[in-house]
Chain A
């Protein structure tokens, strides 16, 4: 049970002659009591470095780590009352499963009887009771992983850290373990930070997701918010499979040079989208900084917000089908946009098995419609979302 607070945390590796890497930049974050928080980002984004600073395995270059209000920067990892599961599980070949579970208790000088009771308790909880005398090389991936989790949880830490714990499991086991982890965390209601690069894992596990890129926190939000309201182009492109489609665009100055509700339109080099027709009220647009006629923007549409239809007249997006990937109950259709610079771009469309786009085949010329409220606009320079 604990609240973790990170204040302006920075980590710079190297320096003094060697080129330095600014791995973590100004991370400011609060993880509430009992919260399941996931750090999500591509590799090298600083998520593991941040986790290691919380654990005490890395010393912050600047900034403060607080656990329940107490600054823990200068505490040795073992004194922080934080447990961690490593990606490789870090099991010791010379110890049995029981030995692994006992180790943290021995460090705390827990008496033998109590130790035995807690080992049995956690082994039951994690279903490794019949493996207590086995050594790591005799364990399957899932068993080894549960042993690692057991070792971390046995001393009831205030904070539970997991560094990509599912990476080394096969796909089916990963799903099972994911569910088991979620249940475990719920039951123990222990504050948890989980690092992953897998958005699916993050979306399914997290109460809160912290998206990181290039050492910075991009957005802190619930999975739902993150998907619906990404704050910038990076988050929009990182969350969702397949990723959001992008193309450069500008707001068309209307005939009389005014931002006029009826004539407000989004122009790319390949097509024109009248904003009003997309269910975007001009009042949404007006008053937002960056949304002035002529401003350089990036347009984004999620594959699930696009509808494939027959080629129609007008200036809307259109293209030629290049790939159709069946995915069980849906298909992912890749459409190479035609016209202007946009011709460089391939957009992906998620089409349900029944519904529009059923009959498209590779080579077909198709038109694309954007679902109402399916449009996202980002400033081309700052990449911040403007609509």
Chain B
């Protein structure tokens, strides 16, 4: 009887997980495919029908690790982290201001900030290029950090304002009564309560910057190339180096995965627009 019960319990558990597994497979398949391609010897890459069983090799990774691509990957990570920090710090303060303080034309201003996000990137590439050329910032990491921070700040503000709006006013008032000034209220009460939002914003910022191609393509040439641009180097006159490009691409995903693992506890609450209990 007992055994039977456990068995049926296990069965229903499997049935519950089945759809989850299907969805997971659908979304992770491209990633798995890339990693598999990276691990295949050149001859197996073009095998048709595709081979799922093969002798893995680390040749592709070795080649990529020895190449210039690693510099670009480093650029990408540094640019992403610094621009995310910049955007999240400024965005948090701005969002708090929008959420808590009266401001004339607040709604219009707030919409204007979001509308920056609606601008097609291609429309600003030439102005940016000319601007950076004039101040001597073309092909520098600083330029890319600034551009990405500016692009992501609007989303950060928008996201975090929602989180700050959910912080009950009475909690802040209680801190005021306890003897804290505006900065104390912000750091002791408001900020700890929106950590899930901040985690979400950081991940979003980093993903956006690491993925970005168009701006980096125009605004960097050699010294500051980012990983997505460097991937083009695997497009050689001798043909497309599928193994190399797959290994490089899979390495580009790693920083994001590491970041997501670090903040995953907060991320889940953040993504579900974490109700404060």
Contact = CB atoms under 8 A, between A and B. Distances in A.
Interface string B161-184: 000000010110111111111001
B189 interface: yes
A265 interface: no
Given A77-B173, A86-B174, A92 B180 contact: no
A90 B193 CA distance: 13
A90 B170 contact: yes
A104 interface: yes
A91 B180 CA distance: 15
Contacts of A266: none
B277 interface: yes
Interface residues of A, number: 28
B192 interface: yes
B177 A55 contact: yes
Nearest to B191: A94
Contacts of A137: 277
Given A78-B181, A103-B188, A107-B184, A92 B171 contact: yes
A151 B178 contact: yes
Given A94-B193, A103-B188, A76 B170 contact: no
A108 interface: yes
Interface string A252-285: 0000000000000000000000000000000000
Contacts of A87: 170
A90 B192 contact: no
Nearest to B176: A77
Given A93-B193, A94-B192, A77 B277 contact: no
B176 A76 contact: yes
A342 interface: no
B173 A57 contact: yes
Nearest to A154: B178
A94 B277 CA distance: 11
Interface in A261-318: none
B49 to A, nearest CB: 54
Nearest to A107: B179
A78 B179 contact: yes
A83 B192 contact: no
Chain B interface residue bracket vs A: 10 to 19
B277 A90 contact: no
A209 to B, nearest CB: 24
Contacts of A55: 173, 177
A79 B171 CA distance: 18
B173 A90 contact: yes
B276 interface: yes
A338 to B, nearest CB: 52
A195 to B, nearest CB: 14
Nearest to A57: B173
Contact of B177 (A82, A88, A91, A92): A82
Contacts of A148: 174
Contacts of A151: 174, 178
B175 A103 contact: yes
A77 B277 CA distance: 26
* Central interface residue in B171, B179, B192, B276, by most chain A CB within 10 Å: B179
A84 interface: yes
Interface in A85-143: 86-88, 90-94, 103-104, 107-108, 136-137
A92 B173 contact: no
Given A103-B188, A107-B184, A92 B193 contact: yes
Given A88-B168, A93-B276, A152 B193 contact: no
B75 to A, nearest CB: 36
A151 B174 CA distance: 9
B43 to A, nearest CB: 57
9 contacts: A56-B176, A76-B176, A84-B173, A88-B170, A90-B173, A93-B193, A93-B277, A94-B192, A152-B177
Which 3 A-B pairs have CB atoms at the shortest separation, nearest pair first? A107-B179, A78-B179, A90-B174
Given A78-B178, A79-B179, A93-B276, 8 more contacts: A76-B181, A86-B174, A87-B170, A93-B193, A93-B277, A103-B178, A104-B178, A136-B277
